[in-house]
Chain A
């Protein structure tokens, strides 16, 4: 301590070279060493004095940071004219230069063209000071509202979960021992250990308010009212005070998944996955402790053989995609060298993928799960498998008709593979793209892959050109998407990463029930989605989205030639055209709004910065809009 202090307090003076440099800058040529020394001592002292005065102003300004204004005021105290020109800047960009054995820090003053300043649009006027009131405490208890900091900071949650021994505090230790006693722990030794290990937080008792909240939230999350669900999810994603309820939520989710997988209740599975997403989005929660419950649930939703009652029509693919993205996100956030989540998950997926007997659904899930983990994983684990998978797909497609389900499954797997692999191949494989070579390298899928890669390259080039413009023409943030669109089904539409909580999508939904597509759907709420997906044997469905993204794909529905149009308009136009042309295309509407709305969002610059996942969200949106109708039509 004393050492430290002494170091801090030793008096520092400016080097004499600084004096020389400054003297030169004002035209005094040769300054003697003695004068320099005297000057630097004096200057250093005065600077210190001013800094000490400036500190007073900082204290009275109730700040922690010394500003240039403080220095000005301190100078004013000494009757010195303040330094002009340093006021507005948050930090002063001193630059460093050296040369000729000298080192200089200087303030660069750039020449500014006045016309530039005049011509640039005015910045936004800063908002005026305003007052906002909230409860910091009610009768001595701090309410857990967004205005207040979270009761247990995330950092502490993290240390609690990673180093439980350290986190135990004296007061809580007692709590632990009391519990141990009440549980009737047998020997004293065990008790002692338990005392140490005991998790400090009260996972046991929730206040009445919290119980009510928990009940409301869980009911809303799996209930039928979409508006309520949205609110509930919003609350889960933002409220800072959920820490104590976290174990309950995680149990709720894992149990819910377990039950609903058995019952093949796709809707509930979707709801539960959305809850997982909301929990992960909450910046105040640290989920590490609950991964053992959450990850199995999520993985179940990715690879389960059957997730819905009617696998031929229901769009369980979207759920798999969504869950795969959740998985990837949790791998990214929580994988450490100790828990090895990512490698364990990868192993699981790969094992299933390598198994010949794996069903198409599971196969799809495995590939989706792996693909979400990033390009490296695709490159090392999926691309080598392309030819094998291609053969398998070929067997189903070209071979004797086994079952419709297998065909659909194979179809999905194919599009998924193409979508993910194309971008990676485009990046890694050198030009030129020769179809025969592709065939040789990748087998059955080679031809398609080649065309996809070409498209991906074109897209990338196109993006590179337009990327700087903030106009609406930029459609796809990820090359994968553009590629996928040509041949692929609704999943591609739902894959677009964006947040769809935009009014436009809502209006869209309201318009939809009126369209002629409505009558078609069968059984469940999410059917609409399912029909589109299930029947979506490529081209017809895709058209719209592809035309939107600017890729000139295939026949049907070229009704919207321009890349972007107001969503609603687009939709109505399409539905009209579609329903007119083919009866099959009812479902288009369904897959479209998601993709188109998401595209719309993207175009309008609302783009999410992360590639976080929301296919589900979009799927869910759709299904939400459907739900009232579906409910009435077919009580599930």
Chain B
């Protein structure tokens, strides 16, 4: 007896400190089988110290004895097989139990308990068993986690009991413990569904779904359709819900309170779910407020674990390569009438010195290999610097002008847009599988002549690069045909020689903007590819799709270099960090993740969105990330600390476009609600106090100051904003397709 008792006790003790799942499947199973009936009995005045495990065992044995006494041998056999109890073990335990009966006041209660359980046994405990054992082999292991059987009629009782408890605790704990509702609700519901208690499941859903937070609405909608065990197998979203453990962050006090309650009430069903399917991240200190919790919750798998966001991220920018700029003559040329090249030069110097200083947060220059700069790249850099000297300083007092490019007659549906960095080209992806490239400058798009014509060219001439271009077919726009499904993502290479497009057909295509033909089709995603983007240095690109992974590619490899797996649902948008060492992905599971390109690890998980994320933007200094979702909110994240630092409310529909101004003072957001909004990002970043405590615990208290940060709202005429781009001089370009209905 003592030996038997000790084992589970130890396990339990461990559980208290380290809430890990019990790896011992069988014992778990056997224990849980009876636990439902046990706790259901109204007479459970069991000793307070007794652990549930031990009691389970005892009850099981008691049931066996009862059955034997009543000559129900078949049932005994089944139960014994099910429970995995040997004949001898039972005898041993039986005698142990007998002894126990003799010596304590327990006896009566135990006996009465046994009789209660046996009454319930034929209906609830025993009948489902054959089904379960029959199904066991062909259902995945994951599903088997639900095979535990409680009395389906009592799920409601458990849940409402817990609900009553949580509603009665002190305010400071209530908010934290309320987090339990949703995951428990989902797991209990799934458990009911899994065990073919369809009607109970429906009743359970009906009774409690209204209590859930409104941001789980979408998931609940999926859940309510699930009423059959067969449905569980195919449903990926819910498979994820079961495999990954829902993460909750609860203060130690609240957790103790909960544990004590569950033990008192012997609410084992719930306790088991908590043990098996939830990960409770306990912290010391003051419990969080409702607002704090709400701002972080909402994702498919709960909040991020704290350790996840502790990894060091090198968010600094890479050192600018030294380019000897032939400043003077060019400046003279361009600016002679202004007569201030001198002034400029000093400015340039100061800029140069700034970039020479190595940022302590920046990664090693060669942390990931980057392509060498070509001559043309250097020229472009020079152009960039020159342009940026003419850049307008933006601020709350000095808002940017917005030029709106409207796509007219886009009946086929505009699905993606990208501008080149120098704002000379515009690419649009359409639902009719085409990609169209426009020149938004007077310079027309020319392609290289055909091979036959190229043969005729004097290759020695100085302007050979001009000569190879076909002047005759020059036009303002070119159409690229090749995809066989809507094009959901387009991205220009930084050198403007290539264009990437990702499509519903599962491929990513690389197009040459010299010949306007397709160069490579990258296959690997198999499912729709929602987004793709070139690295700011070219060569690498990232893509994300319906297959729930993001992939890192290099243009000269037909297979991905890295696969970033971890999202629980579609990867909807992908963005490179300005230093190209990290990739941010947004997903339908309502999280944003940051991945290290070097080793493929997930280094940040940001939760807090209440809807699928459709847009991401890094601040130019690489420190911050902004994300926009279908719920119409923009969230701001501090990458270094791994914290949410702002929430921008105002949009009323999905945000499809986010962009920081070139200096990062202004964040522009464009949405389905036909507006462009400008936000004071500087103020948003400054106002957050990131002291040690918040950094350590991750409990951020967000000021609700959206309306203060909102600098401007600009309505368009029924034109949803699909893309935003700041030119090098800080003029904001917006695009969208006019929608005549």
Chain B residues contacting A56 (CB-CB under 8 Å) are 546, 570, 588
Q: What is the CB-to-nearest-CB distance from A42 to chain B, in angstroms, rounded to a whole number?
A: 7
Partner of A62, one of B230, B426, B477, B672: B672
Q: What is the CB-to-nearest-CB distance from A35 to chain B, in angstroms, rounded to a whole number?
A: 15
The reply on B612 being an interface residue by CB < 8 A is yes
The reply on B220 being an interface residue by CB < 8 A is yes
Chain B residues contacting A69 (CB-CB under 8 Å) are 431, 486
Q: What is the CB-to-nearest-CB distance from B390 to chain A, in angstroms, rounded to a whole number?
A: 16
Instruction: Decide: B226 and A45 in contact? CB cutoff 8 A.
Output: yes
Which A residues between 598 and 621 are near B, CB-CB below 8 angstroms? none
Given A61-B486, A135-B402: A41 touches B676 (CB 8 Å cut-off): no
Instruction: Decide: B546 and A140 in contact? CB cutoff 8 A.
Output: no
Given A134-B404, A149-B715: A127 touches B409 (CB 8 Å cut-off): yes
Chain A residues contacting B403 (CB-CB under 8 Å) are 133-136
Which A residues between 1 and 29 are near B, CB-CB below 8 angstroms? 1-3, 5-6, 9-11
Instruction: Decide: A6 and B206 in contact? CB cutoff 8 A.
Output: yes
Instruction: Decide: A148 and B409 in contact? CB cutoff 8 A.
Output: no
Instruction: Decide: A11 and B399 in contact? CB cutoff 8 A.
Output: no
Q: CA A133 – CA B402 in complex, angstroms? A: 10
Instruction: Decide: A77 and B528 in contact? CB cutoff 8 A.
Output: yes
Partner of B405, one of A62, A128, A133: A133
Chain B residues contacting A127 (CB-CB under 8 Å) are 408-409
Q: Nearest B residue to A139 by beta-carbon distance?
A: B401
How would residues 135 to 148 of chain A score, 1 for a CB under 8 Å from any chain B CB and 0 otherwise?
Answer: 11111101000011
The reply on A129 being an interface residue by CB < 8 A is yes
Partner of B407, one of A1, A129, A147: A129
Q: What is the CB-to-nearest-CB distance from A13 to chain B, in angstroms, rounded to a whole number?
A: 9
Which B residues between 662 and 710 are near A, CB-CB below 8 angstroms? 672, 676, 678
A-B pairs with beta carbons under 8 A, tally = 159
The reply on B273 being an interface residue by CB < 8 A is no
Instruction: Decide: A62 and B504 in contact? CB cutoff 8 A.
Output: no
Q: CA A342 – CA B722 in complex, angstroms? A: 48
Q: Nearest B residue to A73 by beta-carbon distance?
A: B504
Q: Nearest A residue to B397 by beta-carbon distance?
A: A140
Q: What is the CB-to-nearest-CB distance from B603 to chain A, in angstroms, rounded to a whole number?
A: 27
Q: Nearest A residue to B678 by beta-carbon distance?
A: A140
Q: Which of A6, A42, A62 has the most B CB atoms < 10 Å from its CB? A: A62
Instruction: Decide: B209 and A139 in contact? CB cutoff 8 A.
Output: no
Which B residues between 417 and 436 are near A, CB-CB below 8 angstroms? 426, 428, 430-431, 436
Partner of B409, one of A61, A130, A147: A130
The reply on B225 being an interface residue by CB < 8 A is yes
The reply on A59 being an interface residue by CB < 8 A is yes
Chain A residues contacting B401 (CB-CB under 8 Å) are 135, 137-140
Partner of B224, one of A10, A142, A149: A10
Q: CA A14 – CA B451 in complex, angstroms? A: 62
Instruction: Decide: A2 and B210 in contact? CB cutoff 8 A.
Output: yes
The reply on B345 being an interface residue by CB < 8 A is no
The reply on B727 being an interface residue by CB < 8 A is no
The reply on A122 being an interface residue by CB < 8 A is no
Instruction: Decide: B224 and A60 in contact? CB cutoff 8 A.
Output: no
Q: CA A41 – CA B630 in complex, angstroms? A: 30
Which B residues between 186 and 219 are near A, CB-CB below 8 angstroms? 202, 205-206, 209-211, 214, 217
Chain B residues contacting A49 (CB-CB under 8 Å) are 225, 234-235
Instruction: Decide: B716 and A129 in contact? CB cutoff 8 A.
Output: no
The reply on B221 being an interface residue by CB < 8 A is yes
The interface residues of chain B, by DSSP majority, are classed as: mixed
The reply on B485 being an interface residue by CB < 8 A is yes
Q: CA A257 – CA B198 in complex, angstroms? A: 79
Instruction: Decide: A149 and B405 in contact? CB cutoff 8 A.
Output: no
How would residues 56 to 77 of chain A score, 1 for a CB under 8 Å from any chain B CB and 0 otherwise?
Answer: 1101111110000100010001
How would residues 488 to 505 of chain B score, 1 for a CB under 8 Å from any chain A CB and 0 otherwise?
Answer: 100000000000000010
Chain B residues contacting A59 (CB-CB under 8 Å) are 612, 614, 630, 654
Q: CA A350 – CA B496 in complex, angstroms? A: 76
Given A56-B588, A62-B415: A131 touches B715 (CB 8 Å cut-off): no
Chain A residues contacting B614 (CB-CB under 8 Å) are 59
The reply on B734 being an interface residue by CB < 8 A is yes
Chain B residues contacting A3 (CB-CB under 8 Å) are 210
Q: CA A332 – CA B403 in complex, angstroms? A: 40
Chain A residues contacting B572 (CB-CB under 8 Å) are 60
Chain A residues contacting B255 (CB-CB under 8 Å) are none
Chain A residues contacting B431 (CB-CB under 8 Å) are 61, 69
Instruction: Decide: B734 and A48 in contact? CB cutoff 8 A.
Output: no
Q: CA A452 – CA B688 in complex, angstroms? A: 84
Q: What is the CB-to-nearest-CB distance from A434 to chain B, in angstroms, rounded to a whole number?
A: 56
Q: Nearest A residue to B715 by beta-carbon distance?
A: A149
The reply on B228 being an interface residue by CB < 8 A is yes
Partner of B415, one of A60, A126, A130: A60
Given A9-B209, A11-B202, A73-B485: A136 touches B408 (CB 8 Å cut-off): no
Q: CA A1 – CA B211 in complex, angstroms? A: 10
The reply on B558 being an interface residue by CB < 8 A is no
Chain B residues contacting A1 (CB-CB under 8 Å) are 214
Q: Nearest A residue to B735 by beta-carbon distance?
A: A131
Q: CA A2 – CA B216 in complex, angstroms? A: 13
The reply on A210 being an interface residue by CB < 8 A is no
The reply on A251 being an interface residue by CB < 8 A is no
The reply on B145 being an interface residue by CB < 8 A is no
Q: CA A48 – CA B411 in complex, angstroms? A: 28
Show 22 residue pairs from A and B whose CB-CB distance is below 8 angstroms, ordered by the A residue: A2-B211, A5-B210, A9-B205, A9-B224, A10-B206, A11-B202, A41-B228, A44-B225, A60-B486, A61-B413, A62-B413, A62-B672, A62-B720, A129-B412, A131-B440, A135-B401, A135-B402, A136-B676, A136-B734, A137-B402, A137-B676, A140-B401
Ranked nearest first, the 10 interchain pairs of A and B with the lowest CB-CB distance are A140-B399, A2-B210, A136-B402, A136-B404, A137-B402, A48-B225, A6-B210, A127-B409, A11-B224, A132-B406
